[in-house]
Amino acid sequence: MAFGLDAGISRETSCTVQTAQKPDEIGTITEVKTYGGTKTTTEEVFSSSFSNVALNGQTGSAGTPVYTEHTLIESNEDYAKERKVSMEPLPDPV
């Protein structure tokens, strides 16, 4: 078990936003606005049984992610592992 994780091998979190650019009359960017922010989390854990969580019909919101990928990794050299990728919208700033 890794330090800082409840269970599992690794966790990676990435936050991204879309941008809209406002140019002036000669095309110089004068303002940039962000929107559509998302948080993506990739977790890798040891697996004793595999049940897919990346299903159609999921609905996510801030604090409630949807799973976009779920992979079973099997190898002759290591224990079976699962990789789960989830995504949720970032809340708007207050």
Q: Indicate the domain borders of the chain.
A: 10-89
Q: Which residue bears the tokens 């976009």?
A: 68
pLDDT of residue 94: 59
What is the spatial distance between Cα 46 and Cα 81, in angstroms, rounded to a whole number? Answer: 4
What is the spatial distance between Cα 50 and Cα 77, in angstroms, rounded to a whole number? Answer: 19
pTM of the model: 0.74
Write out pLDDT tens, residues 74-94.
Answer: 989 888 999 999 999 988 775
Judged against a pLDDT cut of 80, whether residue 3 lies above it is answered with no
